[in-house]
Homo-oligomer: A and B are copies of this chain.
Amino acid sequence: MIRDHDRIYTDRGHERRRIMEYNSKKVKKRVRFTDGAGNALSGCNIGIKQTEHAFLFGCGGFDFIKYVMEGEDEYKQLTDSWLDVFNYATLPFYWGNYETEEGKPEKEKLLKTAQYLKDKGVKVKGHPLCWHTACADWLMKYDNAVIMEKQLERIDREVTGFKGVIDIWDVINEVVIMPIFDKYDNAITRICKEKGRVGLVKEVFDKAHECNPEATLLINDFNTSINYEILIDGCLNAGVPISAIGIQSHQHQGYWGREKLEEVLDRYSHFGLPIHFTENTLISGEIMPGHIVDLNDWQVDEWPSTPEGEARQAKEVEEMYRILFAHPLVEAITTWDFRDGAWLNAPSGFVRKDNSRKPSYEMLKKLIKEEWWTDTTVKTDADGYAEIDAFKGDYRIVLNDTETEAEFVDDNEQTVVLG
């Protein structure tokens, strides 16, 4: 039995926790506002209007390629919806597609698309530089030494060639299974078998880091077991320059739930590195049977989105994003498909096949652009100081008809000059 004062206490505790929860994603500090001559702007009402999140709210950006290269109307509506919510896009660099014929990489369309996204304020990640799946078949005619050489040249070409436009890379994908992947022969499994997991990880990261020392370099895996923990532990002790730990969370077989999410976060927090949820899927249709081990084995003609499924998806999106956004080390969440019917033909998007927005879209937009979004006015004191309590990100700072831009990302002392 809960007595009334218990309930009140509980509610208050809950509320306090909710307020505390996102502290890692906010700045709380005194900021000084001055005019161009350095005079304090005393007793002014100053508008603090967020224009972008520091947090990376991501989604697959594959559809932008078609839009940028072909400019079809259908894609305009789609990409507009995308841009209303997200600030971080994953673009495909699967070797087998990017360089179907040796020596003829499809650089132009990727560079144009990435540049388009950058101009829209979107950060872009290239995915992936080294992976055994979707790899170039022509590599297999070479011996392992040459394959390795070509892998490193490829990393140099992409990381150097896109520097300034793409500065975030999934350097290597799914290393836990890489040397024992046995569905088909491929060049990368061959070199991973020879060099060992950590040896290969080290070489590809060292090359990527050498080509762009400022880049954010990710290791990425769907395996969240102890295997991946030990792999990362080994890599870090071997000096591999990993910037962030990538965790895939394709949940075609059902939502992980709070307990598993928190358990995974807990285990991967030990390293103290930023955590990126790199490939998230929550579906709005029937759940894929649990006996399927490789998700790619589930091939269906139709996989409809249902009203009940869409309600469930929105609820799961809310809970999952709340848990992840609240975690101090999580710095990015990327949902894999923006529109239904992409990978595996699944109802995995925020919009349906006809581009109409699902409840999950509205839910996530509300979180990102309302609840976790700062749009307020502060009053400065006699010395021009005001307390800023704001989600980390970019801001327009407005005083009457003057305005400027500011970035609030940490609790360091800061002065904003207006006019």
Give the B-binding residues of A (Cβ under 8 A): 176, 180, 193, 196-199, 202, 226-227, 230-231, 233-239, 270-271
Contacts of A196 in B (CB 8 A): 233, 236-237, 270-271
Contacts of A176 in B (CB 8 A): 226, 230
Contacts of A202 in B (CB 8 A): 237
Contacts of A239 in B (CB 8 A): 238
Query: Can you identify 8 A-B contacts, CB atoms within 8 angstroms?
Result: A193-B270, A196-B233, A196-B271, A197-B230, A227-B230, A230-B231, A234-B234, A235-B237
Contacts of A234 in B (CB 8 A): 198, 230-231, 233-235, 237-238
| A108 → chain B closest CB, angstroms | 38
- Other-chain contact of A238, B180, B197, B238, B270 (Cβ < 8 Å): B238
Contact across chains for B238 and A199 when beta carbons are under 8 A apart = no
Contact across chains for B270 and A233 when beta carbons are under 8 A apart = no
- Other-chain contact of A233, B180, B199, B226, B236 (Cβ < 8 Å): B199
Q: Add 13 more A-B contacts to A176-B230, A196-B236 (CB < 8 A).
A: A180-B226, A196-B233, A197-B233, A198-B230, A198-B237, A199-B233, A226-B227, A230-B231, A231-B234, A234-B234, A234-B238, A235-B237, A238-B239
Chain B residue nearest to A198 (CB atoms) is: B237
Chain B residue nearest to A225 (CB atoms) is: B227
Contacts of A237 in B (CB 8 A): 196, 198-199, 202, 234-235, 237-238
Complex CA–CA separation, A202 to B236 (angstroms): 12
Contacts of A180 in B (CB 8 A): 226
Chain B residue nearest to A234 (CB atoms) is: B234
